[in-house]
Chain A
Amino acid sequence: MNPTAGHRGEDVRNDCFVELTPGNPAVQVASTVGAVYLRQIESEVKAALARWAPEGTGAIVEDFGAFTWCLEARVEAAARKLPGVSATTDTAEPHPSPKRSQDPKARIRRTRLYLPGNTPKFFVNAALYGADSVILDLEDAVPESEKDEARSLVCQSLRYVDFGAAERMVRINSGVMGMADARAAAAAGADVLLVPKAESAEAIEALESPIPTIPLIESARGLAHAAEIAMAPGVVALAVGVEDYLADIGGRRDAPEAMAFAYGQIVNAARSAGLSPLASVYADIDDLPGFRVEVKRMISLGFDGVGCLHPSQVPVAQRAFAPTPEEEEWARQVVAAFEDKGGAVAVNGKMIDAPVAARARRILERAVSNLPAWRLG
């Protein structure tokens, strides 16, 4: 059977389905945008075949408006199923990331927007929604059978899609597949790896990630080792995965106290290592008021960020993280006074010491908005 990759069907947008034809170099394209892009698509497919497939290989492509990088990713993924191509490394230069110059532990990660790793239509506009980070998700959002092609797609998008000012995170799979994800994503220019089901510092080290990592604590065992995981080399923040954790301990989401211990432990483990603790996602994407309440609760527990499953959650979370004008003014006064004196000082008659000054600095960090004023939030 000829190797294939991608998606097809009436509802498919910005994607394509590629079948490679070893031994038959012809390229056949049928496209929903063929009336104005047919020749371009043909030449893009030929270029991708020349890069990825053995000579003499052609392709049958059903296109639904795939962008150039997606066509290439699909050809690449199909070609990797051929003997001799599977281990090929992509040597193309990664897209420059504006985040690279910032200390990875100090980056603001109030909102991390999840993008399912094998659905290209969500990638191209991801920069527009104002999230601090985007997560190209190779793990739970991708069916088992599509893992390899999602990796090709995510890597091609890292090279060619402009994610704007957002930090580019890739959530890798666990186990052996995760090692391959990590190597490929790092080579393609990801800023950070999100490592699921982290259970020990050794496992994080064994990943040998060339780029910073954020372990996801989502099991009882992982929680028991949260402090040492937070201290592992390359770890720049600590995140919690609620659903998996609750499943592991036998707790229920509708019992808020079921997470109390984990939240406390993770916030404490992260802070003791000088890292940001990052909260989980809120599944009901239509319930923005409920999401706002949840974000406020996470902030009060000490978390510095939340996961967003839909772009409409981003402004809501960004606004929730923003301090009130009174808080911001207070924080400015505290930081100014503290830095001026270099130690304990009185502001408005109240003594300010180092921990209060640290809290004030965190409030000022959250006051930096990447959300324009016209957004409702």
Chain B
Amino acid sequence: METLVLILGVLKTALAVADAASPVYTFLTSVVSRLEAAQAENRDLTAEDWAYIDQLAAQYLTQLKGYHSVTAALLALAPAQPPTGT
């Protein structure tokens, strides 16, 4: 369970140093409230809960990809290309 502790630690550390006015603080607070609600009501996370977090993940990933150098971007694509020849 060490990795679980690590993840909790990551979130706690982020919360501890985040400015209460920052978007990250707002995001983490929302995530925590969604988890707490799911646990309190003994239910799964809802599709809306997942959509909220997935949308942000995709947003950051898209922005990060914009900084990939051309060479690195091509190398990253290479394994996904179909094999050539017979």
Chain A partners chain B: no
Q: Which A residues are within 8 Å of any B CB, using their own CB?
A: none
